[in-house]
Each structure stands twice: as C-alpha cells, then as structure tokens.
Amino acid sequence: MTTFASLVTSARAMASPMPRDPPVTTAVLPMSDDMYAGRITHRFMATVALIGAGDIGGACAHALAAHHRVGRILVIDPAVNAAAGKALDIQQAGAISGFHARLEATDDESRAVGCAACVIADRFAAGSPEWQGEEGLALIKRIAELSTDAPIVFAGATQAELMQASSREARVPARRLIGSAAEAFASAVAAIVAMEARCSVNEVSLAVLGAPPGARPERAERVEGFVVPWSDASIGGYALERVVSQVQLRRIEARVARLWPPAPYALGAAAAGVVEALLQASRRCSNVLTVLGGEFGVRDRVGAVPALLAPQGVVHTRVPALNTRERVQLDTALGV
C-alpha cells in the first residue's frame, strides 16, 4: 500500500541521490563558477588599447570584437576621424554578426591607462606604415609609462627591431614585449601542411623558431630567419614525418619559403589571438616573438619561440627538441 509519506520520501530520494564516492554521508552539490550569476570574468571587463587604425589595426579590432573576448576596444590614432569611422563600422557590423564589444576612437594616448593589453599596429596613412624607428620607440616609452604592467603586443611584421630597442633602451621588461607576427606565419605554414596532407588545419601542430628575415621584408625573397622544426611537428597526434613523404616535405618547405610577410588581415587576426591568450591565460602555446632569456643559448635578442601567455605577459617558453640539421639552421638564423 502506497501512502503519501512514502511518495514524498521516494521523490526526495530521486531528486537528491546519495553520492557514489566515499564518504557517503550526505548529497553535496559541487561548487561551480556557473552558479554565481554575479561573477564576471576579468576578460569581459577588459579594455584593449589598439595603437593605429591602419589595415592591421582594423583587422585586429574586428577579430577581437567578433570573438567575444573583450568588453571594450580603444582605437588610438592621430587620424582620429578615420579611426572613429572604422570603429563605428565595426560596431555596426556587430548588429549583424551578433557581437557586443564597445569600440571607441581617440587621438589621446593617455586614455590607454589601465588597459589589459596594448597592441602596436599600423597608422592610418598611405600604405598603412607600421610603428618603427625612433618614432616607434618614443611611442613605446609613453605607453610603458601609462600602463606599467600591461603586455605590449607588436602586431606588425617589421617590428622586431622596435621590440629590441624597447627592451634595451626603454627598459621595458622582456615578459611584456610580445610579437604576434610569428603566430601569423605559423598559421600560414599549418595551412600549407594541411593542404599537402589532406587534413584539417586544426590537426596540425608545429613551432616556429628563429628570427624574422629582416626589418624590411620586401627585400627578402626567401625566409632565411625562421626555422620550422619538422621533427617536432605532428598531424593528428602522429609525427609529421610519418604522415607525409620526404617529397611532400620538400614541396612544403619550398612553399613556406614564400609565405613571409603575412598580409594585414592575417597579422591582425594573429594579434587578436595573442591578446585573447593573454587575457585567458591560455594553456595552449602560441608562437610569438620575444626577447630571449637563455633559450637556444641566446640572451637579449628577439627570437620566435612557443610560449605560454598570461595577463602579465610571457610566463613560460617551450624549447622543442631539434635534430642536428635544425639546430644548425637555428644557430645561423639567430647569429649564434
């Protein structure tokens, strides 16, 4: 005979089953961040300052906004009207694409105070020139004083010398100086490998080491600075050299030699990806340019290396195992 009390007891037992793991004393609901509706992750409140409203800057701003990783993007450029127009264009695209980041434009660099990250892109001018030389170094000194802890991401393909000067002359800590062009190059190489291996680009894992082929890539017909350690690369968890033949690998190397410099949209997207990795403290290594601190036996020189990123900048670098041929190539690239 079923009574009302037994029904209530049965319903309560079904709604609150006893846990299977000892000690079995009472049902406990595991705590989760999703339980706290009022808790807001830092990256959703973060402001990213984007210095330059050129082609790279515009691509970076759009990628940051579309990925729902930051709440506010501040575009800083002396051509403030052009920067405002580009910010408004991206903001209006959000109504179609469904992103809600707030974009603002200004010519006042002091508004970068308190930003979570600062991206050094290209100016809105004929040819979209990247920040370089003495003018770029003066900019870095001002930004470093305004945001004393924020990482500085160099989005351009020709800013390795500016990174070097920022470390040596402006005394900016090496962990704060990050070049994202190496990530753009690595993505292009991964795309070529995926085409040759007939697989998804997401299955390709590889590193980029060395240094950019010079401050003026238009003079570089081949990529002599960067080294891709094929012995460390993989496709779908298998060693790359077991998936592709030597003939295919030589064909890939011939194509890779013509991939530098990446185009503005690739550079902008790579910079956005690096910023997102910084804000999220991503556990995935990013191929970045940084001031080496003993990696490969080199110090105080800009080089590419896989690194783990966090809100304070580069927190760990991963040095892949190299065979003899790759080690010689890397020593030549870094001038060891």
Mark whether 186 and 104 lie in a shared domain: no
With respect to residue 129, please indicate whether it lies within any of the assigned structural domains: yes
How far is residue 320's CA from residue 305's CA, in Å, rounded to a whole number?
9
Is residue 95 one of the residues assigned to a domain? Answer: yes
Does one domain contain both 169 and 194? no
Residue 122 predicted with pLDDT over 80 = yes
The yes-or-no verdict on residue 41 having pLDDT over 50 is no
Q: How far is CA 263 from the centre of its chain?
A: 16
Same domain, 169 and 187: no
Q: Confidence band (pLDDT; 50, 70, 90) for 221?
A: very low
Is residue 15 situated within a structural domain?
no
Gap between the Cα atoms of 104 and 249, Å rounded: 46
The mean predicted confidence, pLDDT, of the chain is 87
CA distance 55 to 121: 9
Closest CA relative to residue 48, chosen from 116, 108, 101: 116
Domain count along the chain:
2
- Whether 156 and 51 map to the same domain: the answer is yes
**pTM for the predicted model, two decimal places:** 0.84
Residue 36 lies in a domain: no
Q: Last residue of some domain: 136, 152, 181? A: 181
Q: Is there a domain that residue 268 lies in? A: no
Q: What is the pLDDT of residues 166-186, one digit of tens each?
A: 999 999 999 999 999 999 999
Q: Residue 69: what pLDDT?
A: 86
Residue 255 has pLDDT above 50, yes or no: yes
Asked if the structure places residue 272 within a domain, the reply is: no
Output the domain CATH number for residue 246.
3.90.110.10
Are 241 and 177 within one domain?
no
Task: Give yes or no: residues 208 and 131 share one domain.
Answer: no
Residues 114, 63, single domain; the answer is: yes
Query: Are 176 and 186 contained in the same domain?
Result: no
Contact 262, 26 (CB under 8 A): no
Average pLDDT over residues 244-261: 95
Q: Does residue 6 lie within any of the structural domains? A: no
Which residue range is the domain that position 110 belongs to? 42-181
Q: How many helices (H) and strands (E) in the chain?
A: 11, 14
pLDDT at site 33 = 42
